[in-house]
Chains A and B, each alone.
Chain A
Amino acid sequence: MAGFLKKTLTLITGTDDLASVGITLPKMTAHQRAHKRPTERELIQKESEIGSQLFGPIPAGHHRQFFNLDRSTWIWYEEWVDPTTKKRQEATIRYEIHQNGILKAQEGARYNFLEGQELTNFITAVQIYYERTMREIYHCDPTTGQKHPVFTPSRAV
């Protein structure tokens, strides 16, 4: 934001030295930076890092994401380079929570409701995702929602 503002003012005033025309930009302090609220996108990215680890080791050259998009949608995304064609491949699967089951929507208009072992695995993955994101990202108890006190070394003395 500060960069954008500086660039805009530079274009308006026609000089890089804003101080020479009497403009000083406010600077974000370290305290402000530390307490800046994350965006939803940033939080989803953090969650996705945990989500990608839930299904075992990721094969070399693969990039995987698994995350909760909203209360009734989960996304699996995988990207890799095909060793034979050397072309980049990707697959996105959307899991939608419907009243009558979990709909798996894949590319090519393929839809089916999860059942059997796949359904069990999905539920287990969601449970672990929930437990881990609550504890590791939001630092709160998954059952009560209460925040755990965050350990800060400067206060520990």
Chain B
Amino acid sequence: MGNSYESFDQPLREFMPAGFADVQSHDTYPLPKSHRTPRETVPVQTAVEPPVQPREAKRADLDNAREIARYLQDIGARIEYVRTRETSGVASTANTYQQASVGSQSDYGLAG
């Protein structure tokens, strides 16, 4: 922890609330496939759409909610980290954010 800002090495996800439009910005924290939008062209509407399974839709909503929650907790952890850094110094607070970061990394399936 020589560098006091190492905790910020983990990039904060760029988050697009309006429909997760910017897929490219999520390379570090890939969103579930259900939230990805096609990069090239808008698919042509077919005559018959396959029926959406209610269970799958529910699962997608839950995944979405979890992604949002993780993102907002990342922000909360960063604010808490910087706030603590200001009030009591770097050394005593360094672990706080790192623990949050490591936890988040594994949650996102990025660790290892």
Contact = CB atoms under 8 A, between A and B. Distances in A.
Interface of A: 37-40, 43-44, 47, 68, 70-73, 97-102, 113, 119-120, 123-124, 126-127, 130, 133-134, 138, 140, 142-146
Nearest to A68: B79
Task: Tell me which of A37, A70, A71, A73 has the highest count of chain B C-beta atoms within 10 A of its own C-beta.
Answer: A71
Q: Is chain B's interface secondary structure helix, strand, loop, or mixed overall? A: helix
Nearest to A43: B83
Interface of B: 5, 7-8, 11-12, 15, 17-18, 62, 65-66, 68-69, 71-73, 75-84, 86-89, 100
17 contacts: A37-B87, A40-B84, A40-B87, A70-B76, A71-B77, A71-B79, A71-B100, A99-B66, A100-B69, A101-B69, A120-B18, A123-B17, A123-B68, A123-B72, A124-B17, A144-B8, A145-B7
B4 to A, nearest CB: 9
Contact of A97 (B72, B83, B84, B89): B72
A127 B11 CA distance: 14
A43 B87 contact: yes
A100 B66 contact: yes
Contacts of A133: 79
B10 to A, nearest CB: 10
Given A70-B80, A97-B73, A145-B82, A127 B15 contact: yes
B79 A130 contact: yes
A102 B65 CA distance: 8
B78 A145 contact: yes
Going nearest first, the 7 A-B pairs with the smallest beta carbon separation are: A145-B8, A71-B76, A101-B65, A123-B17, A120-B17, A145-B5, A71-B77
Contacts of A47: 79
A71 B72 CA distance: 8
A120 to B, nearest CB: 4
Contacts of A120: 17-18
Nearest to B89: A37
Q: Which of B17, B75, B77, B87 has the most CB of A within 10 A?
A: B75
A130 B78 contact: yes
Contact of A140 (B11, B17, B65, B82): B82
Given A71-B80, A143-B11, A144-B5, A99 B18 contact: no
Nearest to B66: A99
